[in-house]
Copies of this chain bind each other. A is one copy, B any other.
């Protein structure tokens, strides 16, 4: 029997594995602290009465067999963090799942459908250059071949790191009929609108580009304005214009230039080469396409005006994923009946739910993030809001499994 503790205590308990000096967490895939966390979570699951197993990539599952069907309702999130991340991203969803399922078992006995919790091994891509290693292995998008040649920044191969944790075997597709994830929002929407629960309708699709502008480097003093082919001015004009278009385009479209490299980057020399990234997200792929068409035509026009040439390199293309609308309807009714404030919203960040959402009906719920901060030791959600999230998750799982 597990001793009852508050959610905050459980969050702090899990954060001990990889706790950083400034109160954050660094828990990278297949490290000692990662291994300790997965082992401790497995023990918790067993203390809660679940039957556990660990798969060939290190996902830890805890199971209560259903009494009537062999449909499997999976719930959980990822145990890994970014470097010096927070205590909640991923971890909260893992803890919430264990609490919800063990309490359901305690209060209502075995469900009709099988309930499984999962502490997914990896989602962030912080140690190795791959993301969603846990969920993509479960659904069969990743297999052993994806480990070939993958090394971390210290040159340690993925398969060596895995073996060092005592994990082996061949990943196999695992049967899952439905997935439910609870996560912090990592944005400010719920906080600003003073809502306790986010009911996610879609996880956005993403495209990322690097745009290169090539002009001509010249003396800042001796080159009259009309003679210039200023790559930085052309790039700045693009960034301003792309943002204006995004503001005007659609309420939920976001477009961001976060990174820029200027060459030669000297105050009194006109720049001849500027690269900048563009990150575009929306829940509807057609909208992303329409926006990109619009701005790339603006890019061509701006380049011609400034006498510069340009290149567009796309390096990420993720399709939007819809969450299960039917369950969302039930959730909204439940929240109204229980007087819990909520917001239907789009997730602008990627989550394991998008991997499962491509293959099975999936539900993603958010709790607020203070100041929208995530991937930082400053990640914070009030204890009552964390508890509300667990209460709702428990209600959803009850509805689905009992």
Chain A interface (Cβ < 8 Å from any Cβ of B): 185-189, 192, 204, 206, 208, 218-227, 230, 232-233, 235-240, 243, 246-247, 251-260, 262, 264-271, 277, 279, 281, 347-350, 372, 374-375
Cβ–Cβ contact A252 & B224, under 8 A: yes
Cβ–Cβ contact A270 & B252, under 8 A: no
Question: How far apart are A201's CB and chain B's nearest CB, in angstroms?
Answer: 14
Question: How far apart are A316's CB and chain B's nearest CB, in angstroms?
Answer: 9
Cβ–Cβ contact A221 & B236, under 8 A: no
Given contacts A188-B223, A232-B260, A254-B223, contact A372 B265 (CB under 8 A): no
5 interchain residue pairs of minimum CB distance:
A187-B222, A221-B348, A236-B239, A220-B256, A267-B277
Residues from chain B with Cβ under 8 Å of A270 in the complex? 256, 258
Question: How far apart are A206's CB and chain B's nearest CB, in angstroms?
Answer: 7
Q: How far does the alpha carbon of A374 sit from the alpha carbon of B266 in the complex, in Å?
A: 15
Q: How far does the alpha carbon of A256 sit from the alpha carbon of B269 in the complex, in Å?
A: 8
Residues from chain B with Cβ under 8 Å of A269 in the complex? 258
With CB as the reference atom, state the residue of chain B lying closest to A243: B233
Cβ–Cβ contact B268 & A258, under 8 A: yes
Residues from chain B with Cβ under 8 Å of A254 in the complex? 220-221, 223-225
Most chain B C-beta atoms within 10 Å of own C-beta, residue among A218, A230, A349, A374: A218
Given contacts A192-B227, A233-B240, A260-B260, contact A221 B349 (CB under 8 A): yes
Cβ–Cβ contact B252 & A259, under 8 A: no
Residues from chain B with Cβ under 8 Å of A236 in the complex? 235-240, 243, 257
Question: How far apart are A393's CB and chain B's nearest CB, in angstroms?
Answer: 20
Question: How far apart are A305's CB and chain B's nearest CB, in angstroms?
Answer: 11
Q: How far does the alpha carbon of A126 sit from the alpha carbon of B85 in the complex, in Å?
A: 44
Residues from chain B with Cβ under 8 Å of A188 in the complex? 218, 222-223, 227
Given contacts A219-B372, A349-B221, contact A265 B271 (CB under 8 A): no
Residues from chain B with Cβ under 8 Å of A185 in the complex? 222
Residues from chain B with Cβ under 8 Å of A220 in the complex? 254, 256, 258, 279, 281, 348
Known contacts A187-B222, A222-B348; 16 further A-B pairs (Cβ under 8 A)? A187-B223, A188-B222, A188-B223, A208-B268, A219-B374, A220-B254, A220-B348, A222-B372, A227-B372, A232-B239, A233-B257, A236-B237, A236-B240, A236-B243, A260-B265, A267-B279
One of B206, B219, B347, B375 near A186 (C-beta < 8 A): B219
Most chain B C-beta atoms within 10 Å of own C-beta, residue among A237, A247, A252, A254: A254
Cβ–Cβ contact B240 & A225, under 8 A: no
Q: How far does the alpha carbon of A347 sit from the alpha carbon of B150 in the complex, in Å?
A: 56
Residues from chain B with Cβ under 8 Å of A243 in the complex? 225, 230, 233, 236-237
Q: How far does the alpha carbon of A238 sit from the alpha carbon of B237 in the complex, in Å?
A: 9
Cβ–Cβ contact A208 & B277, under 8 A: no
23 contacts between A and B (CB under 8 A): A187-B219, A187-B221, A187-B222, A187-B224, A189-B222, A219-B374, A220-B254, A220-B279, A221-B347, A221-B348, A222-B372, A223-B254, A223-B372, A225-B246, A225-B255, A230-B243, A236-B236, A236-B237, A237-B240, A256-B267, A258-B264, A258-B270, A258-B271
